[in-house]
């Protein structure tokens, strides 16, 4: 059974930093892509960052480029999201996700391709 568990969320002031972690288990083979998604109240879930696990290539949505960094520790089966210079609009529930099949690079932040999800961790940024 695949299990993904996020941690590291919390409340910070604008300009602050948080590091989210996602530990995963139960995979027979490593997922092809792993990503971070977020969903604010009343909004659709959106892709924030993704990583191609074999090469480490990373992908970001425009609003977080230069502020967020996705990384992985394959030995520890852990995915990270370092979030710096946080803004109130970054407030949301953050989810890690994984997919075992090929995804076109142009679609790696499309939630419909991902079939394994964690339960989420809340990030709240106050102004």
- Per-residue pLDDT tens for 44-83? 999 999 999 999 999 999 999 999 999 999 899 999 999 9
User: Is residue 112 helix, strand or coil?
Assistant: helix
User: Strand 92-99 vs strand 68-73: parallel, antiparallel, or unpaired?
Assistant: unpaired
The neighbour count for residue 80, using CB atoms within 10 Å, is 20
Geometric angle at alpha carbon 73, from 16 and 107, rounded to 5°: 80
Length of the chain: 127
What is the average pLDDT score of the chain? 95
Residue 107 confidence (pLDDT): 96
Q: Is the pLDDT of residue 87 over 80?
A: yes
Return the pLDDT at 111.
Answer: 97
- For range 27-34, the mean pLDDT: 86
- Does residue 28 have a pLDDT over 80? no
The tally of CA atoms less than 13 A away on the side-chain side of residue 85 is 7
Cα separation, 21 vs 102, whole angstroms: 24
**Residue 29 clears pLDDT 90, i.e. is over it:** no
Q: What SS3 class is residue 45?
A: coil
pLDDT of residue 15: 98
């Amino acid at each position: 059974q695949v299990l993904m568990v996020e941690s590291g969320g919390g409340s910070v002031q604008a300009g602050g930093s948080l590091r989210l972690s996602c530990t995963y288990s139960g995979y027979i083979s490593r997922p092809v892509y792993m990503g971070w998604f977020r969903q604010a109240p009343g909004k659709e879930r959106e892709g924030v960052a993704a990583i191609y696990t074999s090469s480490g290539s990373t992908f970001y949505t425009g609003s977080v480029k230069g502020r967020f960094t996705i990384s992985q520790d394959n030995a520890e089966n852990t995915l990270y999201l370092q979030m710096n210079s946080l803004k109130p609009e970054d407030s949301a529930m953050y989810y890690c996700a994984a997919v075992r099949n090929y995804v076109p690079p142009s679609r790696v932040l499309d939630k419909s391709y991902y079939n394994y999800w964690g339960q989420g961790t809340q990030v709240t940024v106050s102004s």
